[in-house]
Amino acid sequence: MKDFLSLADLSPDQLRGLLDLAAGLRSSGTASDRPQPLAGRTLAMLFAKPSLRTRVSFEVGMRRLGGDALYLSPAEIGLGSRESAADIARVLSRYADVIMARVFAHADIEELARFASVPVINGLSDHNHPCQGLADLLTIRDAYGDLTGRRLAYVGDGNNVAHSLLHGGALAGMHVTIVHPENHAPSAAVMHTAEGFASASGGSVHATTSLDGVDGVDVVYTDVWASMGQEDEAAARKARFAPYRVDEALVARAGADAIVLHCLPAHRGDEITDAVIDGLRSRVFDQAENRMHAQMALLAWLAGGMPLPA
């Protein structure tokens, strides 16, 4: 596997191995004990949209594994306007050992991967967010010890985060329900792919407009109602999504030991309340930390030649 564009590209064994490798790197102790598979290697971080977690987690993670990271801002690159994705990929492949890109259109990440001669990692696209999905699954596994059979309800827009949860959860044998307002369902193609994974793993995937989908679940997950690039829809979405706010009453419908996740940044008071995100059930900041550990595993595997645990 050269690139990481989607969790759907992984086999169940590869997914399990990445989570195991992430957990192992997280517990590797002091810097002197940590493996350095990326010594002398450079990560080019290409941003078409800004991010706190994506930039810092990749940059710090790369350096912890012995490598270096170079940040390329939207203004410096002009992806698709100043220069084509194909040309950017070919140039960066001459300078760097691995490319991470955070883009708007998924076609851009696909074109980068097609023309790059080094591994390309999808740091986010409008279609999916596989690095976030890895961190999410690692956080759920930390809470429960195993993913098989766990029930997750994602509440909100059927967006890129929902798509990666469907792919990853289905691969891992989870039961994933997307609880969404009318006309905000996840992609039918993503649902179809996830159904195939779930059939093989013993999991299941569902999409519903009913908040009954939260009842008894192990994980309640939400995200912003309007993503970057949807600012002009924010007011209309706020009115439409208000019944889907994750508050204490909604979380009370989940299982007694349920945890709450949010990929951040959070619009507190909109999709999630302060009482929930700061409450005892929240694992939101563990989840944010796990972005770095999951991505370190990806970098070590794709660019450092580190094998996945069997």
Catalytic residue among 263, 270, 287, 295: 263
Q: How far is CA 122 from CA 54, 106, 264, 302, in A?
A: 11, 9, 18, 13
User: What are the backbone angles phi and psi of residue 78, rounded to the nearest 5°?
Assistant: 60, 50
C-alpha to C-alpha distance for 174 and 151, rounded to whole angstroms: 6
DSSP-assigned states of every residue in 157-195: ---HHHHHHHHHHHHTT-EEEEE--TT-PPPHHHHHHHH
Q: How far is CA 251 from CA 4, 140, 246, 263, in A?
A: 33, 16, 7, 17
Active-site option among 108, 136, 157, 223: 223
Catalytic entry in 16, 64, 129, 150: 129
Among 41, 53, 102, 163, the active-site one is 102
Q: Which entry of 16, 53, 150, 291 is annotated as an active-site residue?
A: 291
**Contact residues for 19 (Cβ-Cβ < 8 A; gap 6+):** 134, 137, 138, 141, 294, 297
Neighbouring C-beta atoms of residue 235, cutoff 10 Å:
10
Among this protein's residues, is 287 annotated catalytic?
Answer: no
Asked about 129 being catalytic, the answer comes back as yes
Q: Which of 127, 132, 151, 293 is catalytic?
A: 132
Q: What φ, ψ does residue 117 adopt, rounded to 5°?
A: -100, 5
**Angstrom distance (rounded) from CA 290 to CA 22:** 8
Tokens in use for 56? 């810092």
* The total number of residues written for the chain in this structure: 310
Cα angle 225, 139, 210; round to 5: 40
- Is 230 one of the annotated active-site residues of the chain? no
Q: Which of 103, 41, 107, 114 is nearest to 72 (CA)?
A: 103
Q: How far apart are CA 274 and CA 269, in angstroms?
A: 7
Is 106 a residue of the active site? no
* Rounded distance between C-alpha atoms, residue 306 and residue 299, angstroms: 9
Active site residue 223: yes
Known catalytic membership, residue 114? no
Among all residues, which ones are annotated catalytic? Answer: 102, 129, 132, 223, 263, 291
